[in-house]
Structures are given as C-alpha cells and as structure tokens.
Structure 1
C-alpha cells in the first residue's frame, strides 16, 4: 500500500503527541555515535583537563569550533523542522479544505486530487532536500570524527611527552634523594667532627686549667722564693745606706684590692722615720711600675695604710730579679725606687706623702 499525504500527516500528528516516538525516530535517523557525541566529548574534556593542563588552550579552541559546528547543525535541523512544520501545516490546510469540499461537491474532489498530486511532488522535492541535508550531515560527521582522531593523536603524543617528563622527574628525584643522602652523610660527618672538636676543646680547656693551677702553684712558689730573697736584699740595701729597720718587713693585705709584698718602718741616716712600701716582681717591667704607682694613688689603699698607722713620708720600692730596660725611665718619672737582686739599686726611691685626697706625691 502506498504512503499517502494523509498517512504522513497522521504520522506527524502522532509524533507530536508522543515524545518517546520522536526519540525513537531521532534514534533511527541519528547514529549512536552522534547521540553520544556530547557525553563522549564532555568525558574527553574532563580527562584532558585533569591530565594535561597545558592542553587547556587547545581544548578551548576545539570546544569553540565544536560549539560553532554544533550551532550550525542545530540551525540546519531547525530549518529542516521548520520546513517539515510548514509542510505539515500545508498538508493540514489542504486536508481540511479537501474534507470541506468533498462534502460540497465531487468536482472539488478532482481538484483536490490534482492539488494532492502537486503537494506530493513538493513533498518529494522536500524529501530530496532532506536527503541532501543528510548527506551534508554525514560529511560533517566524517569531518568531526577526523578531528576527533586528530585530537586523539595529539592526546597520545602529549601522553608520551608526559611519560617522558615523568621519567625525567623520577630521574631528578632519584638524583635529589642521592644528594640528600650524601648531604645528610656529610652533616653527620660534620656533627661527628664538631663533637670531636668539642671533646678536644674540652680536653684543651681541662689541660689549660691544670696548667693554670700548676702555674699558680709555681707562681706561689716563685713568689715566696723571690719575697724571701727580697727580705735579704732589702736588709742589705738599707744597711748599706745607713737605714735602720724599726720593725720586721712583712706583707699587708688590703681588703678587695690586693696586698703589699712588703711594708716596714725605717729610720734614715738623718734620724727621720719613714715607711718603706715594697712590691716584688720576678720580671720588672713597665707594667709593674704603672701598677705599683696606681696602687699607691688609690684612695682606698691610702685609707687602709693610714688605718694601719702609716704616717709621714713613704718610700716606694720595687724589688725584681729580671729588668725590662723600659721600666727605668718610668720609675724615675714616678719617683719609685728599683732594686734588683743581682745589680742592687738602679733608681733611688723618692719620698711620697699619703694625702687625704688620695694619690698625689710630694714634688
């Protein structure tokens, strides 16, 4: 049985009433690949975005091109739907006209049949146009598949590049791990060397403390020995110059300051009494002269001497074993006597007066 315009119109009306029929018709007209194209493209887009950030710009251009092609396809389908709708409206109008005129006259039936023939020819022309549009669609689909193949090839190349970069990253990471292990080993060696250095330093400090204690004991021994020699030398010195010791030569400790190595009251050849203040140095140098002069000028020392009963002039004298030549001139300027164990008097002491203001000597 031939497919008539009435049957086509009924088919169109049924399709408009049943959405599932239209879906089935679209499924028959369109391939599964085209129907699934949006979902597949979205999945591919997500995969490309997740794995290759650098393809984002290329993917964006691809999406724009696809959107343009999809818009063009939608426009053409819209045109086709509009043509079909217009054809349906035309068929509906003619069918209504045919029904109205069939009741009115048989003559109009012949005219309607002729009109039907013409409309069938128009439908055939529209069908040919549809076939042409379908051919265009198939060509577009082939072009789309070609572009998808190109995109898949580009994706494959990028994946290979990614794999190469990953291998390079693994190699660099291995190099970093080896470098870190070497660095940690060197830090461990440095820490061990630091520990050994600290241990060595501790030993050195311990030995230094032991040496200092030994040196202190030696200094005490030498000091006592030199002070003993000083007493004999000073006694001879005073006797040679007509001085008389009025009391034994003794040391005098001064709280929180130090001590005088020797102090004694003497009477001179002229019958005048004075106090002999003595400093003992194994090596007699400029520093010994400065320190002794500063000690005698110290107000607290002068106050301690006055409390001890020192009155009148004092005779400052430094006794030594070895002499630094630079001490001679300083001793003369400071008016301090120098007495060496082997050489005797080198500089005669000049009288000092202990003043309440502290430290100035008589001119």
Structure 2
C-alpha cells in the first residue's frame, strides 16, 4: 500500500499526540548512532571549548613563559655583563696583583740591598771606631809627647829668653858705659838691676864733668814703639816711683833712657816730647832731658 501525504500528516499528528513515539521513530529512522550525534556534537563543542580554554591557558602560560624567558634573557644579559665586568675587574686585580708582586719584589730587593749597605756601613763604622780608638790612643801618645816636647821647648825658651835678656842687658850696660865715657862721665856705681814694684833693667850712678853725681835709669827692650815710650815716661815721673828710688839711695838728678835694637819712627817722636833718651847698640840716638 502506497504511503500518501495524508498518511504522513496523520502520522505526524499521532506523533504529536504521543511524544514517546517520536523517540522510537527517530531510532527506527536514524539509528542509535545518528541519534547520539547531537550529544556527540555537544560533547565535541564542550571539548572544543575546553580545548580553547586550555589553549588560552597555554597561550597565557606561554606568554608568561615568554615574559619569564625575556626576563631570564635580561637577567642573563645583566649577569653576562656583570660577569664581564667581574672578569675585567679580576683582570685589573690580576694586573694590580702583578704590579704589587713586582713592587714587593723590588722592595725586597731594595731591602736586601739596604741590608747589605747597612751591613757594610756597620762594618765600616766598626772599622772607623776601631781606627778612632787607635787614633785616640795615638793622639794621647802624641799629646803626651807634644806636651813633653812643649815643656822642653818652654824650658829652652825660658833659658834662651833669660840668656837673651841678660845678653841684651849686658849689651845695654856696655853701650851705656861707652856713651857716658864719650861724654867724659865716670862710672861711680853699677850698673845693676833694681827691683822696685817692677824691675828696672839698668841702674847706674855716674859723675859728670862738673863732678855732679847723676843717676841713670834705663829700660831695655828689643823693639821700641810709641806705647813702650809712653809707659816708661809715665812710670818714671810717678811720685811713688821716685820715692822708691830715694829709699834705695838713688837721688836726683835722673837721666832716663830707653834701649832697643829697633826704634819705630813714632817712638822717637814721643820720646822727644816726653824728654826720654833713646839708645841702640850703636850708641845714643836721642839724649834725655835731666829730671830733678
């Protein structure tokens, strides 16, 4: 029997009236696999949604990982740069240590040299001190020898001076007697030396041509200068000096001479002003003015 459109309409109405038949009809017409297809599609959509969410999470995680990786890259870059700086610092430190080591070696060499120099200086100082000790001993010996020789020289000089003084005084006495004899005077007393608060080298008493006694006083020097004349002239004119002469019996008038082997020019001028006679080994140079 043919299935018409009206039959289809009736069947649709029946299905509307009996909903449970719809499911049976679908099963008959579509089969279980086709009926399960919507559920499968829903499940697939749900799975796809879950996958999309998973992909979104994966992308987020990937983005985070990329960010972390970028940060790691930056950190690695900074670490690399820091390491490079550290390596540069280490290189510089190595150079500094090398220079310090070389400097220390130079210092050690200098210290060694200084030690050698100090050793040589110490040895030199010890030798110098030894030589100084030897020199001091030798100096003491030489000083003792010098002092002995100096004492001998002083003794010889004293003897020579005494002898020379005596010879000069003898020369002065002889010259005085000769000069007075040339004047026609006679020696009455002396000549001799008189000590009266200072020594008078030659004292003699003569009698002149008129029979008058004259006391001659003479100071003897090797060289006569202005100061010598001034001192002798002042001395013989002092009141104390004449009193001491009188106590020794030497009364005025006085003739006062200075005897010298050499007479300076100024000494002659002063002697003339102070009325002091001058005499050398050759004889009378300047006659004195009689003092009463």
TM-score, length of structure 2 as denominator length: 0.60
Offset, 1:129: 0.7
The offset of 1:307, in angstroms, is 2.6
Kindly state the Cα deviation for residue 293 of structure 1 after the two structures are TM-superposed.
0.8
The Cα shift of 1:215 comes to 0.5
Q: Which one of the candidate residues 152, 168, 183 is aligned to 1:241? A: 183
Distance 1:339 1:169, change over 3 A: same
Aligned match of 1:302 in 238, 256, 276?
238
Taking the aligned partners of 1:280 and 1:187, their CA distance within structure 2 comes to 60
Note the C-alpha offset of 1:242. Answer: 2.7
Q: CA deviation at 1:298?
A: 3.6
> CA offsets per residue over residues 21-44 of structure 1, 9 Å max, x none?
xxxxxxxxxxxxxxxxxxxxxxxx
Which of 264, 268, 276 does residue 216 from structure 2 map onto? 276
Of 279, 287, 292, the match for 1:338: 279
The alpha carbon displacement at 1:188 in A equals 5.8
Residue 82 of structure 2 is aligned to residue 144 of structure 1: yes
Q: 1:349 to 1:227 in 2, by over 3 A?
A: same
1:288 to 219, 224, 233: 224
CA separation of 1:196/1:178 partners in 2, compared to 1, >3 Å: closer, same or farther?
A: farther
Could you say what the CA RMSD is over the residues aligned between the two structures, in angstroms? 4.1
Give the secondary structure class of the aligned counterpart of 1:277: strand
The aligned residue for residue 122 of structure 1 is 60
Deviates more, 1:169-178 or 1:127-136: 169-178
**Equivalent of residue 260 in structure 1, options 200, 203, 214:** 200
Q: For 1:86-125, what aligned pairs fall within 5 Å after superposition?
A: 121-125=59-63
Residue 103 of structure 2 is aligned with which of 165, 186, 198? 165
Match of 2:23 in 1: none
- The alpha carbon displacement at 1:261 in A equals 0.8
**2 CA distance for matches of 1:242 and 1:187?**
82
Q: Residue 249 of structure 1 aligns to a residue in which SS?
A: strand
Q: CA deviation at 1:181?
A: 5.1
Find out whether 1:224 has 2:166 as its counterpart: yes
Uncovered stretches (5+) of structure 1, i.e. residues with no partner: 1-110, 355-363
Aligned equivalents of 2:184, 2:252: Cα separation in 1: 19
**1:269 & 1:126 partners in 2: Cα distance?**
161
The higher radius of gyration belongs to 2
Asked if the contact 1:328/1:347 (under 8 Å) is kept, the reply is no
User: In structure 2, do the counterparts of structure 1 residues 299 and 181 end up closer, same or farther at CA, with 3 Å as the change threshold?
Assistant: farther
How many equivalent pairs are there?
A: 231
Hey, what's the Cα distance between the residues in 2 that align with 1:294 and 1:350? 14
Deviation at 1:157, TM superposition (A): 1.8
- Distance in 2, matches of 1:294 and 1:197, equals 50
Whether contact under 8 Å (1:331, 1:347) holds in the other structure is no
Find 2:192's aligned residue among 238, 250, 274.
250
CA displacement at 1:146 relative to structure 2: 2.6
